[in-house]
A and B are shown apart, each in its own frame.
Chain A
Amino acid sequence: MPEATLVDAINLALARALADDPDVVVFGEDVGVNGGVFRATAGLQQRFGAERVFDTPLSEALIGGLCVGMAAQGLKPVGEIQFLGFLYPCIDQLVNHASRLRNRTQGRLSCPMVLRVPHGAGIRAPEHHSEATEAMLAHIPGLRVVVPSAPERAYGLLLAAVRDPDPVVFLEPTRIYRSVKGEIEDTGEALPLDVAFVVREGRDVTLISWGAMVKDTLEAADELAAEGTDAEVIDLATLKPYDEQTILDSVAKTGRCVIVHEAARTGGFGAEIAALIAERGLLSLLAPVIRVTGYDTVIPLPRLERHYMPSIARIVAAVRKTCKFS
């Protein structure tokens, strides 16, 4: 599909997964007839039937728990939570059950499920619709947390998530659902999980990001290139477990690192990456690691949200600062 959006990619991957495997079922609030509030499941119920693609009552804990029960029976449930801000009633299911069913039973039962959740701010949405609390999820042992940043990776990573034998939370950046386009071949080929993607190679500084911020980070890299700074950009893609080696190799090469995420700074996933570099890459550093993040405040309502989100200017400024450091 030429010029596919990220939503198209999700829809295509879901259709592919449903067509390939009769054990795949897709459900959530408004995912049936309505095709999802973002249309990610558009047309799927018509094509695959209401037993396989269905609306649930307005019950987020149920959606998480249904996934666990179905997965224990060998189905491949793909649940949808409408917005990350509505995931929280379902956290109990993720922390206490999905992520540890395999361990609790020492492999007797397992939990091959995917929970799709729109992620992030920047779409002028109402209160509670702009959350970026991925670090909370990435702290849960036994879970996988994946955040695509472009249509082609969304397609391949979602297929990988559905085929993975363990629970995956698949965060979909709403800001780039339609604004980033790419070419997708519906080949059914999955991309590897647990692997970071170097989306731009460079010598001078390593920029690490995920989700919607990868787009801004790449644009910042273009701006920096114009002034002679050659930035490498890593799309982390899987936050748990994350690809330590790609980060360490890149930092060993560049000696400088800026981490970009829209989530609040304290305890954000950037802190984990900075700690990794401090523990295992310190001697290759030529400058302190800098984080460009959302602030440690509640994500503001739309009038102020652009002041909260890391801007291209803030990323560029951080890179200039780290490159000047000596």
Chain B
Amino acid sequence: MQEELPVIANFEVRRRAYLAPDGVVLRHLPDFANDRDLIISMYRGMALARAFDLRAVSLQRTGRLGTYATSLGQEAVTVGIASAMRPEDVLLPSYRDNAALLWRGVTMEDILLFWGGDERGNRWSGPADDFPFCIPVGSQAPHAAGVAYAFQYRKQARAVVCILGDGATSKGDVWEAMNFAGVCKLPVVFLVNNNQWAISVPLRLQTASQTLAQKAIAAGFSGEQVDGNDVIAMRAAADAAIASARAGDGPRLIEAVTYRLGDHTTADDASRYRSTEEVQQRWKEEPIVRLRNYLVSRMNWSKADMEKITTECEQKVTAAIEHYLATGPRPPETMFDHLYARLPGAYAGQRKEIEDLNA
């Protein structure tokens, strides 16, 4: 027989959602949801990311861009968080977070340049302290803790946002960062884009945990699950988490439940490991149509308004692509130019060798 031992701790995880998949309002909305300009700007951010993704994939398919990771279906996650950040906050994105970078002022040209195989894409003129896309999954989480420690040490009211995928929550370095953030009450928000798939591995093989939000609890801070296809919920959760960080109340975790509607990257073929029925089903929940329905039903939005934004996004993307395609490669010897602050004499000969070979 089970011994009756006393319960010494109880925890709960809450879920946030305001809009049903058809855009119908489920519960009392936060105040900002009535700010028409803000909601439209978030719609624009999502639509731009969608338009950008579609064109980037076709560039890749025609040999004019390298491997590319789309954010298809997850635009609300990144626009929600980015729109809640201040310019002086710092973002540490993973490779799927284009929409957040675009919102924060990184240009499409920069992003194309990076995926087109040129480091200069990460030298953007956008947010100077933001980190570039992190490719080794979750390895930027300790950097987020370091940036947050610097803010705390210098008594700056700035917040750090680290965007991770569901797969990243299985990684030791992510845990190490969360654990330390909890110990030091660091001003950092861990945003988990739970898009259900880590390349071909589904969430159920990634973890036996009921939610990913609860992973924060063991680190001593709270985690909240959010409908990641509901940009209003994402923004509200982001506002609360960032405010907590900025106020010195410590880290938060947001689990954004969404779905990766596209392949992992252009190098992947998701039909090898998941059914088209599953994907079709998930298209019914996608974030852009959901917000459009909200705008139409609650904010007197018309088809013309929508089309205007679509056209505007298409034009911006086209202009960026033209600019990207017109940018030539940098001289090969410059591969040494940012290795160290000053190139050690030991490597000057190698730099010259490349220069001479290409003279």
Contact = CB atoms under 8 A, between A and B. Distances in A.
Nearest to A167: B340
Given A70-B147, A106-B338, A57 B179 contact: yes
B173 to A, nearest CB: 4
Given A66-B146, A69-B146, A166-B341, A108 B176 contact: no
Contacts of A70: 146-147, 149-150
Contacts of A65: 139-143, 145-146, 173, 176-177
A194 B176 contact: no
B274 interface: no
A166 B342 CA distance: 9
A47 interface: no
B132 A69 contact: no
A241 B123 contact: no
A137 interface: no
A85 interface: no
Contacts of A89: 172
B153 interface: yes
Interface in B113-129: 119-120, 122-124, 128-129
B1 interface: no
Contacts of B338: 102-103, 105-107
B345 interface: yes
A93 B346 contact: no
Contacts of A93: 139, 142, 173
Interface in A166-225: 166, 194
A72 B339 contact: no
Contact of B142 (A61, A103, A109, A142): A61
A298 B149 CA distance: 39
Contact of A102 (B139, B141, B146, B341): B341
Contacts of A249: none
Contact of A62 (B123, B145, B339): B145
A69 B123 contact: no
Interface residues of B, number: 41
Interface string A8-51: 00000000000000000100000000000000000000000001
Contacts of A285: none
Interface stretch (A73-81, A121-129, A226-234, A309-317): A73-81
A229 to B, nearest CB: 30
Contacts of A69: 142-150
**Chain A: interface size category:** 35 or more
A192 to B, nearest CB: 11
Contact of A68 (B120, B128, B142, B337): B142
A259 interface: no
A165 B339 CA distance: 11
B132 A72 contact: no
Nearest to A105: B122
A52 B150 CA distance: 11
Given A69-B148, A105-B123, A241 B143 contact: no
A306 interface: no
A103 B119 contact: yes
Nearest to B122: A105
B341 A72 contact: no
Contacts of A74: 150
Contacts of B136: 92, 96
A107 B338 CA distance: 6
Given A69-B148, A77-B146, A103-B338, A108 B122 contact: yes
A61 B177 CA distance: 9
A57 B183 contact: yes
A68 B173 CA distance: 13
A64 B84 CA distance: 29
Contact of B150 (A73, A106, A243, A244): A73
14 contacts: A61-B139, A61-B173, A62-B177, A62-B180, A65-B176, A68-B142, A73-B147, A73-B150, A77-B146, A92-B139, A97-B139, A97-B143, A105-B119, A243-B346
